[in-house]
Structure 1
Amino acid sequence: MRINVLQHTPNEGPGSIQRWSQEHGHEMYIYHPYQFGNLPTSDQTDMLVILGGPMSPNDDLDWIEQERVLIRQLLADHKPIFGACYGAQQIAKTLGYAIKKAPHKEVGWAPVYLKSDIIPGIPEKLTALHWHEEMFEVPDQADLLFSSDLVKNQGFIMNGNVIGLQFHFEPEADNVREIAINDNQYPLEHNDLHQTGKEIIDHGVPTENKQVMYQLLDFMVKNS
């Protein structure tokens, strides 16, 4: 299976998604459309992963619109799509739903709560990495998958093979350090989780996050 990844900033890579891909013998291709403008075609894509980034789906940039063209094609072809943070927002925007300021800016570690039993075996409470101040509207054709204490719309699942998460399960320890040291001012600016970059790094990645990331990806592939 060819997994195409859209990466939107140098310090937010695929993390454990890449490890999952390698362990399953898939081929992963990582695109950087914000820098090079290149995107895969739908017929080159068996699964699409849309990662986070500092931009907004509301930004008027050609490559952002072209991403949505690709997402529309993959939705029509019933191919699996996973979106993290900006990626989840892009999926919702493609479906015609608003992306707007969240009631709280969340940067750091905080619990998320499972709101659907569609995917078996997911714990009811997990601690995830948050790095956002915008949020998506949950599409009518999707189910709410996760919520947090501060922001209700934290995750959705649609058709069994499209998942968008406002937060991050994919970063491993090295990835968290890379995110925090390079975007080190962002946690200090009106952050409702009141965590510094050092505190975020020192927290460590919960061991179950990689397992849950794998479960989500396995479920998507099974239902495609």
Structure 2
Amino acid sequence: MRINVLQHTPNEGPGMIADWAHAHGHTMYVYHPYQFGVLPTADETEMLVILGGPMSPNDTLPWIKQERDLIQQLLDRDIPMFGACYGAQQIAKTLGYPVTKAPAKEVGWAPIYRQSPVIPGIPAKLSVLHWHEEMFTVPAEATLLFSSDRVTNQGFVWKHRVVGLQFHFEPAADNVREMVVNDYRYIAGSVLNQTAAEILQTPVPRENQQVLNAILNYITAE
């Protein structure tokens, strides 16, 4: 399977999604539309991953709208899709639902709580990395998947093929370090009140890879 990945900032890559792709023998292509203005076509996309970034779906940059055009084509074709943070917001906006300021800026490690058993093998509570201050509106046709203590809309699943998460399951320890050392200024103002050092010292829970794998297996299952 050809997995096309849309990356939106140098320090937020596919992380453990690449581990899952390689373990299953898939081929992964990473695009950087914010820099090169290049996107894959729908015909060459068998799965789409839309990663996070500092931009907003409400921004008016042409490539952001072009991404949503691609997302719409893939939704129409029932192509598996996974969105993280900005990526999840892009999916929700493509489906016609607004992206707004979240009730609180969350940056750091904090728990999320499973809201639906639709995807097997997900624990009731997980510790995940948050890096956002906007949030999606859960589409009416979707199922709320996760919530946090401060932001209800933390994850959704849409028609078995699409999952959007407001937080990050994908970073391994090296990826967390890359995010923090390059974007540490963004931590200021977070309600989680964690320093860069505290975020770096928190181990990535082993179960996060397992749950990420379960989600990716779910949306790609025949």
Q: TM-score range by the shorter chain?
A: over 0.9
Decide which moves more: 82-91 or 196-205. 196-205
Partner Cα separation in structure 1 for residue 58 and residue 196 of structure 2: 27
Cα displacement (A) at 1:39: 0.1
* Corresponding letter in the other structure for 1:13: G
Identity of counterpart residues, as a percentage? 66
Partner Cα separation in structure 2 for residue 21 and residue 163 of structure 1: 16
Matches within 5 A, 1:20-31: 20-31=20-31
Partner Cα separation in structure 2 for residue 37 and residue 116 of structure 1: 37
* Corresponding letter in the other structure for 2:203: G
Alignment partner, residue 170 of structure 1: 170
* Corresponding letter in the other structure for 2:102: A
Q: What SS class does the counterpart of residue 184 from structure 2 fall into? A: coil
Deviations 1:172-221 (A, max 9, x none): 00000000000011112x11000111111101101100010000000000
Cα displacement (A) at 1:120: 1.0
Alignment partner, residue 193 of structure 2: 194
* Corresponding letter in the other structure for 2:161: N
Cα displacement (A) at 1:161: 1.1
Q: What SS class does the counterpart of residue 139 from structure 2 fall into? A: coil
Partner Cα separation in structure 1 for residue 43 and residue 200 of structure 2: 39
Alignment partner, residue 69 of structure 1: 69
Alignment partner, residue 116 of structure 1: 116
Runs of at least 5 residues in structure 1 that lack an aligned partner in the other structure: none
* Corresponding letter in the other structure for 1:18: A
Alignment partner, residue 90 of structure 1: 90
Partner Cα separation in structure 2 for residue 170 and residue 191 of structure 1: 21
Alignment partner, residue 132 of structure 1: 132
Which 4+ stretches in 1 moved above 4 angstroms? none
TM-score, normalised on structure 1? 0.98
Alignment partner, residue 215 of structure 2: 216
Matching of residue 142 in structure 1 with residue 142 in structure 2 = yes
Partner Cα separation in structure 2 for residue 32 and residue 64 of structure 1: 12
Matching of residue 205 in structure 1 with residue 204 in structure 2 = yes
Matching of residue 78 in structure 1 with residue 85 in structure 2 = no
RMSD: 0.5
Q: What SS class does the counterpart of residue 72 from structure 1 fall into? A: helix
Deviations 1:27-63 (A, max 9, x none): 0000000000000000100000000000000000100
TM-score, normalised on structure 2? 0.99
Runs of at least 5 residues in structure 2 that lack an aligned partner in the other structure: none
Partner Cα separation in structure 2 for residue 180 and residue 169 of structure 1: 15
Query: What is the number of residues matched between the two proteins?
Result: 222
